[in-house]
């Protein structure tokens, strides 16, 4: 197992998810990345240690994610496929809610519950850092990993950046800075990488300080090229004039929005076919085509939009009432979430497992992955093409 294996089984097979794990674990720092504009591929820029190493391929979630094995390690059991767990993963409880703090709500993608839970954990010593995603300083339409250690940094990173972000590079930075209680926020693929590493000795230096994982539900990410294309061609703003960018600026209907260097605000509703529809179609990265995990099934807490829940009706959203749905998957996460609730960081109501049809019917993540990607992946496998192997799923 060497970089050549990673190249053959993941990168050349169109299965790379750009999580950053391979470069972070390489003991001789021989792996770096092509720029986003040219596809973000990991490339060998140093001398690979070769067959006696294999750490990059062992951490990579591109070609293989042993779901059943990891579920047993993490939750003590595999999901019950006779229930909604077949689509949502191991499920302890779920809540629809939002942050109490209006500043958080104004900055969050939906109900800002991710930021509120992280803030509670930071302010109560449960974590000393959170690996979140902020805008790239030079190219604000791209996300970059940020190690947040203050309230201000957490709030500045709130909101969704719908492109591929190498969160494992952020984890590496947090460890290098001496953080000992780290929360990581990531899309399902980032959580897969973490979980693949957590139960194997050689990766402990990188993953041993993770105390909480928050997974974001995810229908797909968008290529850097796609976002840049829409900014230029749909909003008519040249990239060198972009000062700030957000995929979903409030108030409702969320705007795909640029602030230019001369302070003009130019946007278009996020959910219009021209924005979300175009991004999810032609600008989906190849590695997302094989993803079958809609709700970050291996995270401690998994959070997404509450589309379709009565609390998140268009009327409520237009009144500024945004909501996040949280799936709690284990006892540790339940304790942190309930403590944040009791301390007044979040307000929420419980969603019994039987009432989760609003997720499976309406959420773009479930529709894209379970109903869209799954049949295509089965077809690829039947034709002998490389696909991601979710062992025993
Ligand atoms: C690529 C992507 C696709 C998504 N697709 C769906 C979907 O189909 N359906 C759905 O219901 N929800 C989806 N979500 C989740 C949704 O956009 C919100 O993040 C979620 O509802 C939580 O909202 P919030 O207001 O509680 O989060 P906030 O309080 O705004 O916090 C969001 C946190 O996520 C971090 N973050 C932002 N972008 C990234 C990123 N790319 N990688 C890692 N961390 C990041 C932020 O830094 C922040 O810490 C997606 C998110 C992403 C990043």
Contacts of 117 (CB under 8 A, 6+ apart): 214, 301, 336, 337, 340, 345, 346
Q: What would the mean pLDDT of 337-347 be, rounded to a whole number?
A: 98
**Å from CA of 158 to ligand 1 middle:** 9
Dihedral of CA 95/97/103/107: which sign? Answer: positive
Q: Tell me if 380 sits within 8 A of 13, measured CB to CB.
A: no
Q: Using CA atoms, how far apart are residues 27 and 48, in angstroms rounded to an integer?
A: 9
Instruction: Using the predicted structure, report yes or no on whether residue 393 has a pLDDT greater than 60.
Output: no
Task: Please state the pTM of the whole predicted model.
Answer: 0.97
* Whether the CB of 110 sits within 6 Å of ligand 1: yes
Phi, psi of 224 (to 5 degrees): -60, -35
185 lines ligand 1 (CB under 6 A): yes
Nearest CA owner, ligand 1 atom 19? 160
Mean pLDDT, residues 262-274 taken together: 88
Q: State mean pLDDT over 7-35.
A: 96
Confidence of residue 218 (pLDDT cuts 50, 70, 90): very high
Answer whether 295 contacts ligand 1 (Cβ < 6 A).
Answer: no
Which residues are registered as beta bridge partners of 242? 260
Q: Which amino acid residue places its CA nearest to atom 16 of ligand 1?
A: 304
163 alpha carbon – ligand 1 mean position (Å): 10
In this prediction, residues 293-314 reach a mean pLDDT of: 95
User: Which residue among 144, 216, 277 has the greatest number of ligand 1 atoms within 8 angstroms of its CB, and so is best to mutate?
Assistant: 216
104, 243, 132, 207 alpha-carbon torsion, rounded to 10°? -170
Ligand 1 pocket, 162 CB below 6 A? yes
Whether 21 has a pLDDT exceeding 80, the answer reads: yes
Q: Is the pLDDT of residue 273 over 70?
A: no
Q: Which atom of ligand 1 is nearest to the CA of 222?
A: 1
Instruction: Tell whether the model's pLDDT for residue 279 goes beyond 80.
Output: no
Asked whether residue 56 carries a pLDDT value surpassing 80, the answer given is yes
Q: How far is the CA of 54 from the centre of ligand 1 (A)?
A: 31
**For residue 164, which atom of ligand 1 is closest to its CA?**
41
Is there an atom of ligand 1 within 6 Å of 133 CB? yes
**Phi/psi of residue 106, each to 5°?**
-65, -25
**Quick one: average pLDDT of 131-157?**
97
pLDDT of residue 38: 73
Class of residue 347 by CB neighbours under 10 A (exposed 0-12, middle 13-18, buried 19+): middle
Residues 76-114 pLDDT 10s: 999 999 999 999 999 999 999 999 999 999 999 999 999
User: Is any atom of ligand 1 closer than 6 Å to the C-beta of 219?
Assistant: yes
Report, as an integer, the average pLDDT of 338-346.
98
Any ligand 1 atom below 6 A from CB of 305: yes
Give the range among 150-164, 274-288, 339-353 with minimum mean pLDDT: 274-288
- CATH number, domain 3-61: 3.30.70.20
**Which region, left, alpha or beta, applies to residue 99 given φ > 0 means left and ψ of -120 to 50 means alpha?**
beta
pLDDT at 189 over 50: yes
Nearest to 372 by CA among 256, 257, 294, 273: 294
**CA 34 – CA 14 distance, rounded (Å):** 15
Q: Please tell me the least confidently modeled range out of 18-27, 165-174, 294-303, 317-326.
A: 317-326
Tokens of 56: 């990059």
Element (H, E) at 143: strand 143-148
How high is the pLDDT of residue 229?
92
User: Ligand 1 mean position to 155 CA, how many Å?
Assistant: 13
Is residue 392's pLDDT more than 70? Answer: no
Task: Yes or no: say if 191 and 299 are a contact pair by the CB < 8 Å rule.
Answer: yes
pLDDT-derived band at 191 (thresholds 50, 70, 90) equals: very high
Distance CA 322, CA 48 (A): 48
Query: What percent of the chain stands above pLDDT 70?
Result: 99
pLDDT interval class at 362 (50, 70, 90): confident
| Burial degree of 244 (CB within 10 A; 0-12, 13-18, 19+) | middle
* pLDDT computed for residue 1 by the predictor: 66
Grouping H, G, I as helix, E, B as strand and the rest as coil, residue 360 is helix
224 lines ligand 1 (CB under 6 A): no
C-beta of 249 in contact with ligand 1 (< 6 A): no
User: Does any ligand 1 atom lie closer than 6 A to the CB of residue 132?
Assistant: yes
Pocket mutation for ligand 1, best pick of 40, 96, 109, 271 (most atoms within 8 Å of C-beta): 109
List Cβ neighbours of 178 (8 Å cut-off, separation of 6 or more).
none
List, for residues 222-233, the tens digit of each pLDDT value.
999 999 999 999
Per-residue model confidence (pLDDT) at position 254: 86
Check if 256 has its Cβ closer than 6 Å to any atom of ligand 1: no
**Dist CA 99 CA 110 (whole Å):** 10
Residue 50 has pLDDT above 50, yes or no: yes
| In contact, 66 and 392? CB cutoff 8 Å | yes
Span 328-356, average pLDDT: 97
Q: How far is the CA of 127 from the centre of ligand 1 (A)?
A: 20
CA atoms within 13 A on the CB side of 315: 2
Question: What are residue 184's DSSP bridge partners?
Answer: 131, 213
- For 67-77, how does the pLDDT look when each residue is reduced to its tens digit (9 = 90+)? 999 999 999 99
Cβ-based neighbour number of residue 260 at 10 Å: 15
- Mean pLDDT for the chain overall: 94
Give the C-alpha separation, 228 to 161, whole Å.
Answer: 13
Tokens of 58: 């062992």
For a ligand 1 pocket test, name from 21, 131, 160, 326 the mutation site with the most ligand atoms within 8 angstroms of its C-beta: 160
pLDDT exceeds cutoff 80 at 37: no
- The model's pLDDT over 154-164, given as tens digits with 9 standing for 90+, comes to 999 999 999 99
Distance 160 CA to ligand 1 centre (A): 4
pLDDT of the residue at 139: 95
């Amino acid at each position: 197992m060497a970089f050549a294996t990673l190249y053959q089984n993941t990168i050349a097979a169109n299965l790379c998810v750009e999580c950053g794990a391979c470069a972070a674990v390489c003991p001789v720092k021989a792996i770096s990345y092509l720029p986003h504009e040219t596809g973000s591929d990991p490339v060998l820029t140093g001398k690979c240690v070769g067959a006696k190493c294999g750490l990059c391929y062992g951490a990579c979630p591109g070609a293989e994610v042993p779901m059943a094995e990891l579920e047993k390690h993490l939750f003590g059991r595999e999901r019950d496929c006779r229930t909604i767990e077949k689509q949502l993963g191991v499920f302890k409880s779920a809540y629809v809610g939002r942050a109490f703090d209006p500043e958080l709500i104004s900055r969050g993608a939906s109900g800002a519950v991710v930021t509120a839970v992280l803030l509670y954990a930071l302010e109560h010593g449960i974590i000393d850092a959170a690996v979140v995603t902020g805008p790239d300083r030079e190219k604000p339409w791209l996300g970059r990993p940020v190690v947040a250690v203050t309230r201000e940094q957490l709030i500045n990173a709130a909101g969704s950046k719908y492109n591929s972000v190498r969160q494992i590079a952020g984890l590496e930075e947090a460890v290098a800075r001496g953080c000992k209680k780290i929360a990581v926020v990531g899309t399902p693929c980032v959580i897969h990488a973490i979980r693949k590493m957590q139960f194997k000795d050689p990766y402990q230096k990188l993953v041993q300080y993770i105390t909480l994982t928050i997974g974001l539900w995810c229908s797909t990410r968008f290529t850097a090229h796609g976002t840049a294309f829409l900014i230029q061609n749909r909003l008519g703003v040249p990239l060198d004039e972009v000062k700030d960018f957000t995929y979903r600026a409030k108030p409702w209907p969320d705007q795909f929005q640029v602030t230019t260097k001369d302070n003009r605000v130019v946007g278009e509703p996020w959910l219009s076919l021209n924005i979300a529809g175009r991004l999810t179609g032609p600008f989906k990265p190849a590695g997302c085509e094989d993803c079958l995990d809609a709700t970050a099934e291996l995270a401690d807490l998994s959070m997404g939009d509450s589309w379709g829940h009565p609390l998140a009706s268009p009327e409520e959203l237009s009144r500024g009432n945004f909501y996040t749905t949280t799936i709690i998957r284990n006892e540790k996460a339940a304790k942190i979430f309930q403590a944040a609730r009791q301390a007044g960081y979040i307000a929420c109501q419980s969603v019994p497992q039987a009432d989760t049809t609003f997720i499976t019917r309406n959420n773009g993540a479930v529709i894209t992955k379970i109903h869209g990607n799954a049949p295509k992946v089965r077809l690829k496998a039947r034709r002998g093409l490389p696909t991601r192997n979710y062992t025993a799923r």
